[in-house]
Amino acid sequence: MIVVGKESFCDFHTIQAAIDSLEQQYLTEPEVIYILAGVYPEEVRIYRSHLTIIGIGHVEIVMNRYAKERDETGRSIETFATPTLFLGGSHLMLDNLVIVNSAGQGADIGQAVAVYGHCDEAIFRNCTLRGHQDTLFTGPLPPAPRERLEFGGIPLREHHAHYRQLYQNCYIEGTIDFIFGGATAYFEDCEIRSLRHYENQSGYITAASTPEGQTYGYVFKRCFLTAEQNDISPVFLGRPWREYAKTVFVDCKMGTHIHPLGWDNWNNSANEQTVCYQEYYRVKDIGAMTQQRVPWADCLETLDGTYCKELVFAGTEFWK
């Protein structure tokens, strides 16, 4: 057991120092880090697997890197160099942490990631993720970027056969594409809050890049979709960062800020033939919803066991 905090009896005073000490030991046995209440202004990079991190009281990890920030050569650092917390291993659990990218939003800010989850068999419980554009990235990256030669950002030391992540009782906020990436990620009993865009543009909750052939992408089960203010511009449930995006909402409660059409094709009608966008509701809600939504997404009746964790995470029991 390792304790991080400001007190003299703590093993380390910064989270990264504790992580570095573990990674230098090259041990594979499970380890637990307890973080005492406080604000920790640092970028945290974790490559280690078999790790549990538990916050005691209010534990806030905060940094303010952003995509339009310039490096020493004068070039923008881009999205994947901005995360406050990076996770690169597997068999991870984070409990009771507040992770913030405080860069804000604006044309001179761009994307600013709070959590970069390049990880497999990872569990987030009772965590708060705060940011604006691109708050949470769930790896893996797509095969190649479309706008430039490479994604850049934090070096990846390990690539996983699967990227499976569970978010339970978490709070996640943002404006545009604030949950994005290619993982099989399951959000259970979470609040997903849309913030006002600085130019009052429409918001987008998800931007999945599910790899072709992957059975599951994003699953939201019994989540609550809320808005910072009732009069924000309409928010779409998702748009495809890549053409095989998969996103499903099951028995979720949605505020009036959600656009009646539900989904956006990201200015490419061809995506309508390849994406899998679905919503599941109790019988009484289906009719009205179907009439409003885009015709290339499904509104279906919830059945017992619809998108349960046993199904989505078949072959592994990390979620238990």
Kindly indicate the confidence band of residue 256, based on its pLDDT and cuts at 50, 70 and 90: very high
Average pLDDT (221-239) is 95
Token pair 């406050």 in the structure block, residue: 84
Catalytic annotation present for 304: no
Kindly indicate the confidence band of residue 306, based on its pLDDT and cuts at 50, 70 and 90: confident
User: Residue 190 corresponds to which amino acid?
Assistant: C
pLDDT digits (tens, 9 = 90+) for 278-290: 999 876 667 677 7
Q: Say whether 278 sits in a helix, a strand or coil.
A: strand
pLDDT digits (tens, 9 = 90+) for 259-269: 999 999 999 99
Question: Within the chain, what is the greatest distance between any pair of CA atoms?
Answer: 62
Structure tokens at 315: 């072959």
Q: What does DSSP assign to residue 80?
A: G
The correct answer on CATH 2.160.20.10 for the domain covering 29-148+157-312 is yes
Average pLDDT (173-198) is 98
Q: Tell me the domain boundaries of the chain.
A: 29-148+157-312
The single residue of 120, 134, 177, 264 carrying the catalytic annotation is 177
Please give the Cα distance from 73 to 81 (Å, whole number): 15
